[in-house]
Amino acid sequence: MLDQQPPSRWSRWWLALRGSRTIPRTRFTSAGVWRPTPASLSALVVGLWLFGTGDALLLAADLGATPWTVLAQGVTVRTGLSIGWTSFLVSCGVLLLWVPLRQRPGLGTVLNIVVISIAIEVVFTATPAPSALWARVALVLAGIALIGLGSGLYLTAGHGPGPRDGWMTGLHYRTGWPVGRIRLLIEVTVLTVGWLLGGTVGVGTALFALLIGRSVALGLAVVRRLVPAPP
């Protein structure tokens, strides 16, 4: 019987860059959405803070942000409220849409609203807007990377989805439509409304659309590699 050849260097790189295709269980994954442990709660809060920090960096780059942040930015333009407050109010509004879908929030749902809004407010206020285009693009890429890593931590904590993801899955269960189609419809609608309200849409928005899926997959893979579930 021939010996199996070890994977080539390029194959190993490809497997690493492909990231995780599922949400893995880890050593800190909670047994229930309302049953936090110190480890799961820490992973949840740190992950959400990194997520909000990434959103804030995209805003500071002023090259276009994520669709939901574009919506919050548009509300800020119309109301004069700070970006943190508008992010909070938008999240609360989306959570109300769970009611007719009979979705039940978890601890992650509640903290998602609070922690991400605070992180956006604090980091965006403290981050000076660079003038050089390369620096602004670098902020966009750093923001996307942080959102991916933050998603890897908060999703594996096991405390339930955020308001936006819960709305998407609730519509999926109620309508039977594919998740991808529902997500695309939601994102396009939100982006259009945010742009009409005065939010910034640009190359940063396009880079986010192209790279966020890979970034989240890599974030999940990093968390799985660092803190794998016990056998």
pLDDT score, position 2 = 46
pLDDT score, position 152 = 92
Average pLDDT, whole number, for the chain? 90
Instruction: Calculate the CA dihedral of residues 25, 28, 34, 36 and round it to 10 degrees.
Output: 180
Gap between the Cα atoms of 134 and 91, Å rounded = 32
Mean pLDDT of 176-185: 84
Structure confidence by residue, pLDDT tens digits, 32-42: 999 999 999 99
- Quickly count: other Cβ atoms within 10 Å of residue 89's Cβ: 16
Structure confidence by residue, pLDDT tens digits, 53-108: 999 999 999 999 999 999 999 999 999 999 999 999 999 999 999 999 988 899 99
Task: Give which of 41, 173, 156 is closest to 103, Cα–Cα.
Answer: 173
Asked if residue 27 lies in contact with residue 35, where contact means CB atoms within 8 angstroms, the answer is: no
**Which pLDDT band, with edges at 50, 70 and 90, does 4 fall under?**
low
